[in-house]
């Protein structure tokens, strides 16, 4: 990709973003944020996340029994 093509692409993306109403930009940002996996899963993988869920469920069960 030549430099001129890249500048044209970036300019088009910026203009498209700037022309959207603010409510649309906020809505799109929120949807993107919700689509991400949980932080614990993202940084440490599935196993620690599963252990956390297991521990929290057992903790809730023990609290109900007392």
The angle at the Cα of 42, spanning 41 to 45, to the nearest 5 degrees, equals 50
Predicted pLDDT of residue 36 = 85
Domain extents in the chain? 1-35, 38-66
Helix/strand/coil for 7: helix
Cβ distance 65 to 59 under 8 Å? no
Structure pTM?
Answer: 0.45
For the chain, 66 residues long, the average pLDDT of each consecutive 10-residue run is: 90 93 94 84 78 81 68
């Amino acid at each position: 990709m030549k430099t001129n093509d890249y500048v044209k692409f970036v300019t088009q993306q910026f203009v498209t973003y700037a022309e959207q109403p603010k409510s649309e930009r906020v809505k799109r940002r929120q949807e993107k944020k919700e689509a991400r996996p949980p932080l614990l899963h993202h940084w440490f993988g599935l196993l620690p996340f599963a252990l956390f869920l297991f521990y929290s469920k057992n903790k809730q069960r023990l609290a109900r029994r007392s």
